[in-house]
Structure 1
Amino acid sequence: MREKSFQCNESGKAFNCSSLLKKCQIIHLGEKKYKCDICGKVFNQKRYLAYHHRCHTGEKPYKCNQCGKTFSYKSSLVIHKAIHTGEKPHKCNECGKVFNQKAYLASHHRLHTGEKPYKCEECDKVFSR
């Protein structure tokens, strides 16, 4: 195993080659050199541009083996699969209600806290979701 002699001053992460250190540093600098030629959005890594490009092309390379539904992102497929298994790994500590997505739990939790982070620009009314 190679020694990780390239260390990032920002994050403290160490790498065994300078190119990985450079990628880490680009993230911290906010340097975005990969631009979408369709909408102009910019990204700091080429792979993120490739992922983004799918929203323009409609490409959905990830397919559910159970129902055939397709997804643009692997993470979306993973979340979708919980529908078939019934898995709900995210539990509210307040009331015990369970959710299949972390975002749903976060939204639910605002019912307990009373937090209302969303505001209507027209009437200034605030909402929890």
Structure 2
Amino acid sequence: MKQYNEIEKLELLRRYLTSGLSIRAFSASVGIPVSTFFGYLRAYGHPDTSSIPFLMKHEELPTTLDELRAQLLEERKAHEAELKRLKKELAQEKLRCLANSTMIDLAEKKFNIRIRKKSDAG
């Protein structure tokens, strides 16, 4: 019987997940004893594959290169819009922080009181 290294074991597990076969059918197709394949699953974790067919039916995956490009372009535009919105919010928060700091400085001067604590309070 062949000894598999870690990369080969992971490749076998990946092939099993994408094959859609039962564990017994897959191990027979690649010539590995079922007990050995179960050992690989125990060592590397047995993935829950029950939801894969459901997700594949309900997820609209692009079937052509043009559809994939269109989907990626749409996602890129959405990410760019989100980045623009977040930059705008950051700029507004910086202005608000500056306004609060200026207001505190003016209040300290006008009323001659210390609002901020001194940083060198040692």
TM-score, normalised on structure 2? Answer: 0.21
More contact order relative to length (CA 8 Å, sep ≥ 6): 2
Point out the structure with the larger helix share: 2
Q: Which structure has the highest strand share of the two?
A: 1
Task: Tell which structure's C-alpha radius of gyration is larger.
Answer: 2
